[in-house]
Structures are given as structure tokens and as C-alpha cells.
Amino acid sequence: MSPPASHDSETPERGKSMLYCLECEHASPVEGDWIRDVRAHSVAYVCPDCNTVITERPADTDSGRGPRPTAAWSRVLRTSVSVWRASFDAGVAAVTATARDRSDDY
């Protein structure tokens, strides 16, 4: 990984993976030397030179990458239990109805 650019006389080429501090002109890749301040639902990227918050991005769980594996498994488990319970209730209802029909015959 190349060292982050900072306060050089050369202006780094602006790219999508770079963050720039507008206060002090510090520039570094997103994965560079920014201070990551983890908050409740986001991560703030703070300039290491002047402590300016550059951007706040959603935390990994809210980043749009899809549900967390634990959330997905939890949903699968709840759905499976609901289907099983509905099947069980239908089976019990069928047995009860059959038992009533037989008791009416006697």
C-alpha cells in the first residue's frame, strides 16, 4: 500500500477512493490514516491533522450490503418455525375433526 499523501506541493490525483479535508487540504485513501470514530449507526472519518469530520458513513450493518448473517439466519429460523407451527396446527385440527366425526358415529 502506498503512503498517504498529505500537504505535499503536488496535488494528488482526485479519485473515488480518496477523501479530502477541505479545511487543511489533507488527502488520503479511504483506508488511509483517517481517524475512524465509530458511532451508534455510523462511522465518522476525522482528519488526523485538524480533527475536522470529513464524512459520516453508515456502519457496516446499515451499509446496504444486505442483511447481516445473524439477521438473515434469524429470519430463516422464524419463518421455519412459523411454517412448522402452521403445519402442526393444521394436523391437530384434522385429527380433532376426524375424532369428532368418529365420536358422532357411535
pTM for this predicted structure? 0.43
Average pLDDT, the chain: 79
Provide mean pLDDT across the span 45-58.
92
In the predicted structure, residue 11 carries a pLDDT above the cut 90: no
Task: Tell me the pLDDT band of 17, cut-offs 50, 70 and 90.
Answer: confident
Distance, CA of 98 to CA of 85 (rounded, Å):
20
Distance, CA of 29 to CA of 15 (rounded, Å):
9
Give the highest mean pLDDT range of 7-11, 20-24, 60-64: 20-24
Q: Using an 8 Å Cβ cutoff, are 35 and 26 in contact?
A: no
